[in-house]
């Protein structure tokens, strides 16, 4: 995907009618929209291509530059919204009454290319999209034409947002790649909203033992490949991984499905109806990300000591869950 750059996109006119929303997000009434920045109280944040940059990294906080690079590169290479993303959106939001979001402000943390916000945009009042990588500029392009979106480049563990800045937090497939414990990060986000929809990689706790054995082998390969930044290598490897690993396993699953055995084939359940392009994106994600945490259903349910309600979906993707503060 090409990120468009012109004079029109380099000013802050997009936010000229969004001061009220920004006041609620930052919890600050003293806000001024400038030519190429926004002033919030005594702080000033630059605006580039309609994205407000709130990074301001604290040197005392843990920060994974390689993860930032990888996700920026991934979503530049695989930023297009695909037809199967609509089905995945329905799977992730099976615990949510979409009709109830009509007047909601939703914060999409770690939005990537904005694929979930793309499907949310017609169900809610406003969306805050946040990502710490250059993927946020891809998200801006994917959501162009939707005037009720606000875009921020920033670290979701260190946001200058007010408490209860949103009615919902959506954070899908993000926290398990952070250099901090992912469940602690979940707890840290509850100040932002009373409702959180989260997806974390599962510990294969509902799968046969050989799934975990295969994962350990993949993880060893991943830790080596994550250091290779060549775009050509990553593109070729993602294609070969799709053709030589993912598609053969999906094919085997289809062969065994009439016998009720397909659930015993790794990768089949989620990828059985995915396009080559969609699988390539996940191969990139799987093999070029150094940090990958995994949690069990029991660990997620342990969040009941921090939240009034925890509901874990029984359906793929595992595990996605709904938290009420």
Spatial neighbors of 206 by CB under 8 A, at least 6 apart, are 297, 318
Per-residue pLDDT at 42: 93
Burial class (CB in 10 A: 0-12, 13-18, 19+), 304: exposed
Q: Whose structure tokens read 């986000």?
A: 189
* Domains of the chain from N-terminus onward: 64-201+301-324 (3.40.50.150), 209-287 (no CATH)
Per-residue pLDDT at 223: 95
**CA angle centred on 206, ends 200 and 208, rounded to 5°:** 125
Per-residue pLDDT at 64: 82
Task: Please list the ranges in the chain whose pLDDT falls under 70.
Answer: 1-11, 57-62
Tokens read off for 146: 């939707």
- What end-to-end distance do the CA atoms of the chain give, in Å? 38
Per-residue pLDDT at 60: 55
Q: Is the peptide bond before 149 cis (omega within 30 degrees of 0)?
A: no
Question: Kind and range of the H or E element at 237?
Answer: helix 231-241
Round to whole Å and give the CA distance between 88 and 95: 13
Per-residue pLDDT at 12: 72
Helix/strand/coil (H/E/C) assignment for every residue in 56-109 = CCCCCCCCCHHHHHHHHHHHHHCCCCCCHHHHHHHHHCCCCCHHHHCCCEEEEE
Round to whole Å and give the CA distance between 298 and 177: 20
pTM of the model: 0.93
Round to whole Å and give the CA distance between 103 and 9: 28
Sheet holding 126-131: strands in order across? 31-33, 37-40, 43-48, 51-53, 149-153, 126-131, 105-109, 168-172, 195-199, 320-324, 309-312
In whole angstroms, what separates CA 168 from the centre of its chain? 14
Per-residue pLDDT at 5: 39
Count H helices and E strands in the chain, helices first: 12, 11
Relative orientation angle of helices 276-287 and 209-225, to the nearest 10 degrees: 70
């Amino acid at each position: 995907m090409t990120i468009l750059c012109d004079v029109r996109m380099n000013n802050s006119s997009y936010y000229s009618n969004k001061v009220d929303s920004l006041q609620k997000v930052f919890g600050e009434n003293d806000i001024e929209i400038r030519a190429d920045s926004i002033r919030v109280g005594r702080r000033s944040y630059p605006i580039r291509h309609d994205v407000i940059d709130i990074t301001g990294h604290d040197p005392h906080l843990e920060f994974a530059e390689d993860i930032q690079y990888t996700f920026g590169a991934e979503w530049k290479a695989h930023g297009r919204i695909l037809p199967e993303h609509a089905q995945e959106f329905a799977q992730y939001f099976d615990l949510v009454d979409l009709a109830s979001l009509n007047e909601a402000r939703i914060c999409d943390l770690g939005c990537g290319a904005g694929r979930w916000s793309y499907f949310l945009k017609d169900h809610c009042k406003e969306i805050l999209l946040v990502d710490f990588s250059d993927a946020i500029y891809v998200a801006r392009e994917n959501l162009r034409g939707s005037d009720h979106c606000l875009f921020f480049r920033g670290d979701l563990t260190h946001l200058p947002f007010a408490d209860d800045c949103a009615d919902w937090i959506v954070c899908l497939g993000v926290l398990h790649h952070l250099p901090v414990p992912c469940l602690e990060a979940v707890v840290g986000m509850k100040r932002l909203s009373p409702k959180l929809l989260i997806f974390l990689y599962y510990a294969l706790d509902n799968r046969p033992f050989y799934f975990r054995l295969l994962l350990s082998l993949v993880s060893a390969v991943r830790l080596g490949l994550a250091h290779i930044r060549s775009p050509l290598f990553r593109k070729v490897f993602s294609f070969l991984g799709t053709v030589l690993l993912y598609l053969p396993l999906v094919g085997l699953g289809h062969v065994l499905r009439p016998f009720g055995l397909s659930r015993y084939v790794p990768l089949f359940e989620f990828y059985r109806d995915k396009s080559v392009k969609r699988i390539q994106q996940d191969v990139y994600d799987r093999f070029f990300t150094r940090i990958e945490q995994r949690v069990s259903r029991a660990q997620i349910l342990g969040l009941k000591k921090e939240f009034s309600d925890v509901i874990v979906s029984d359906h793929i993707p595992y595990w996605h869950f709904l938290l009420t503060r």
